[in-house]
Protein backbone atom coordinates (compact mmCIF):
# COMPACT_ATOMS: atom_id res chain seq x y z
CA UNK A 1 0.00 0.00 0.00
CA UNK A 2 2.84 2.38 0.86
CA UNK A 3 4.54 1.55 -2.44
CA UNK A 4 1.40 2.56 -4.34
CA UNK A 5 1.30 5.96 -2.60
CA UNK A 6 4.94 6.73 -3.41
CA UNK A 7 4.37 5.71 -7.02
CA UNK A 8 1.38 8.03 -7.29
CA UNK A 9 3.36 10.82 -5.66
CA UNK A 10 6.25 10.35 -8.07
CA UNK A 11 3.95 10.48 -11.09
CA UNK A 12 2.14 13.54 -9.80
CA UNK A 13 5.46 15.35 -9.30
CA UNK A 14 6.62 14.45 -12.79
CA UNK A 15 3.32 15.72 -14.14
CA UNK A 16 3.69 19.15 -12.52
CA UNK A 17 7.40 19.77 -12.69
CA UNK A 18 8.51 17.33 -15.33
CA UNK A 19 6.91 18.79 -18.46
CA UNK A 20 9.29 21.71 -18.70
CA UNK A 21 12.28 19.61 -17.64
CA UNK A 22 11.54 16.86 -20.16
CA UNK A 23 11.78 19.38 -23.01
CA UNK A 24 15.35 20.47 -22.19
CA UNK A 25 17.09 17.35 -23.61
CA UNK A 26 15.08 17.60 -26.82
CA UNK A 27 15.97 21.26 -27.24
CA UNK A 28 19.66 20.43 -26.85
CA UNK A 29 19.26 17.55 -29.30
CA UNK A 30 17.69 19.86 -31.87
CA UNK A 31 20.45 22.45 -31.49
CA UNK A 32 23.06 19.70 -31.75
CA UNK A 33 21.60 18.23 -34.95
CA UNK A 34 21.28 21.64 -36.61
CA UNK A 35 24.86 22.54 -35.71
CA UNK A 36 26.27 19.20 -36.91
CA UNK A 37 24.52 19.52 -40.27
CA UNK A 38 25.63 23.16 -40.56
CA UNK A 39 29.23 22.16 -39.75
CA UNK A 40 29.15 19.45 -42.39
CA UNK A 41 27.71 21.75 -45.08
CA UNK A 42 29.93 24.74 -44.26
CA UNK A 43 33.07 22.61 -44.13
CA UNK A 44 32.32 21.19 -47.55
CA UNK A 45 31.22 24.38 -49.31
CA UNK A 46 33.39 27.08 -47.74
CA UNK A 47 36.45 25.23 -46.42
CA UNK A 48 36.71 22.62 -49.22
CA UNK A 49 37.21 19.79 -46.75
CA UNK A 50 36.54 16.40 -48.36
CA UNK A 51 33.18 14.90 -47.42
CA UNK A 52 34.67 11.74 -45.91
CA UNK A 53 37.18 13.68 -43.80
CA UNK A 54 34.53 16.10 -42.53
CA UNK A 55 32.16 13.27 -41.65
CA UNK A 56 34.92 11.27 -39.98
CA UNK A 57 36.01 14.20 -37.80
CA UNK A 58 32.44 15.02 -36.80
CA UNK A 59 31.71 11.40 -35.92
CA UNK A 60 35.02 11.13 -34.06
CA UNK A 61 34.17 14.20 -31.98
CA UNK A 62 30.77 12.72 -31.08
CA UNK A 63 32.24 9.32 -30.22
CA UNK A 64 34.93 10.93 -28.04
CA UNK A 65 32.28 12.92 -26.19
CA UNK A 66 30.24 9.77 -25.60
CA UNK A 67 33.19 7.69 -24.45
CA UNK A 68 34.50 10.39 -22.13
CA UNK A 69 31.12 11.29 -20.69
CA UNK A 70 31.92 10.70 -17.01
CA UNK A 71 35.29 12.47 -16.77
CA UNK A 72 35.89 15.85 -15.09
CA UNK A 73 35.04 18.96 -17.08
CA UNK A 74 38.65 20.18 -17.28
CA UNK A 75 39.58 17.10 -19.33
CA UNK A 76 36.89 18.06 -21.84
CA UNK A 77 38.54 21.48 -21.97
CA UNK A 78 41.84 19.82 -22.82
CA UNK A 79 40.23 17.90 -25.67
CA UNK A 80 38.59 21.10 -26.91
CA UNK A 81 41.95 22.89 -26.94
CA UNK A 82 43.63 19.84 -28.48
CA UNK A 83 41.23 19.86 -31.41
CA UNK A 84 41.95 23.51 -32.10
CA UNK A 85 45.71 22.88 -31.86
CA UNK A 86 45.32 20.02 -34.33
CA UNK A 87 43.57 22.43 -36.68
CA UNK A 88 46.48 24.85 -36.38
CA UNK A 89 49.03 22.11 -37.03
CA UNK A 90 47.27 20.74 -40.10
CA UNK A 91 46.07 24.04 -41.55
CA UNK A 92 42.32 23.54 -41.07
CA UNK A 93 41.79 26.05 -38.27
CA UNK A 94 38.16 27.13 -38.98
CA UNK A 95 37.04 23.55 -39.63
CA UNK A 96 38.63 22.19 -36.46
CA UNK A 97 37.17 25.05 -34.40
CA UNK A 98 33.74 24.03 -35.69
CA UNK A 99 34.47 20.37 -34.88
CA UNK A 100 35.62 21.38 -31.39
CA UNK A 101 32.25 23.06 -30.89
CA UNK A 102 30.56 19.87 -32.11
CA UNK A 103 32.45 18.09 -29.32
CA UNK A 104 31.37 20.75 -26.82
CA UNK A 105 27.73 20.51 -27.89
CA UNK A 106 27.89 16.71 -27.69
CA UNK A 107 29.14 16.97 -24.10
CA UNK A 108 26.32 19.41 -23.27
CA UNK A 109 23.79 17.12 -24.96
CA UNK A 110 24.97 14.12 -22.99
CA UNK A 111 24.91 16.14 -19.78
CA UNK A 112 21.32 17.20 -20.48
CA UNK A 113 20.25 13.62 -21.22
CA UNK A 114 21.96 12.27 -18.09
CA UNK A 115 20.32 14.77 -15.73
CA UNK A 116 17.62 13.62 -13.39
CA UNK A 117 15.19 16.52 -13.70
CA UNK A 118 13.22 16.31 -10.47
How does DSSP classify residue 91?
T
**Taken in order 58, 42, 95, 113, is the CA torsion positive or negative?**
negative
95 or 3, which is more confident: 95
Is 37 a member of any domain? no
Is 54 a member of any domain? yes
Distance between CA atoms of residues 44 and 53, nearest Å:
10
Is 3 a member of any domain? no
Q: For residue 68, with 0-12 CB atoms within 10 Å meaning exposed, 13-18 middle and 19 or more buried, which class applies? A: middle
pTM equals: 0.78
Residue 11 pLDDT > 50? no
Is 78 a member of any domain? yes
Most distant pair of Cα atoms in the chain: their distance: 67
For residue 50, the enclosing domain spans 42-118
Is 53 a member of any domain? yes
Q: How many residues does the chain have?
A: 118
Is 68 a member of any domain? yes
Is 27 a member of any domain? no
Q: Give the pLDDT confidence of 52-71 residue by residue, as tens digits.
A: 999 999 999 999 999 998 89
Is 117 a member of any domain? yes
Number of domains in the chain: 1
Amino acid sequence: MAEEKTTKKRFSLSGKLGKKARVIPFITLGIFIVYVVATFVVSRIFFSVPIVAAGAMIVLACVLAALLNQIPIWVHGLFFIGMIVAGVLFGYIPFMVMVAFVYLLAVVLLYAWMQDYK
